[in-house]
Amino acid sequence: MKIVGVDEVGLGCLAGPVIAAAVVLGNFKGTITFKDSKKTSANLRREQFELIKKNCYFSIGIATPKEVDKYNVLEASHLAMKRAIKSLSITPNKILIDGSHVPKDLENAESIIKGDDLVQEISAASIFAKHYRDNLMQVYSLKYPHYFFEKNKGYPTAEHKSAISRFGLSQIHRKSFKI
């Protein structure tokens, strides 16, 4: 059975997209143990990201800051999840999603609260999405150096909020978020 794990990152950020990853471990399942990305070091996430790329089916879905503003962050995360699932090169039999909500119109999907701690496919998706988004925010830090995205990844740190007060919002900031 082809099981895909799906998780997203960037919900609580003030800047940048919401990123969802979909990962099918397939025969790679059981060869390594994945944990929730929040409980994994950046170095280990990088190593595991590369292992997933080489050994698994994976895809990324993105919801832009404009889509977050247009729909709301939950709907944008569901949009990113559906895009990630649709972009897979194989069709899964079962979709396991971290959280308490299943995006509309997904068949054979189940939400699992704390799934990134409980289900290896979701943990792998968590790792993949976090590493991908962190690298993307590193790139954005070159274009928008005043916001320190290389450190805060778009999250509402004191330094980030201070930069917003001083320089205003960039093109990748979410305009609908209260700052």
* Locus of tokens 């978020």: 177
Phi and psi at residue 94, in whole multiples of 5°? -140, 140
Output the pLDDT for position 1: 76
Given a contact cutoff of 8 angstroms between Cβ atoms, the answer to whether 159 and 167 are in contact is no
User: pTM for the full model?
Assistant: 0.94
- The mean pLDDT of the chain is 94
Question: What H or E segment, with its residue span, contains residue 95?
Answer: strand 94-98
pLDDT tier at 29, thresholds 50, 70, 90:
confident
Domains of the chain: 3-167 (3.30.420.10)
Mean pLDDT, residues 112-128: 94
Strand order in the sheet with 18-24: 57-63, 18-24, 3-9, 94-98, 109-112
pLDDT digits 0-9 by tens, 98-117: 999 999 999 899 999 999 99
Output the pLDDT for position 40: 86
Burial of 139 (0-12, 13-18, 19+ CB in 10 A): exposed
Which residues lie closer than 8 Å to 30 by C-beta, 6 or more apart?
120
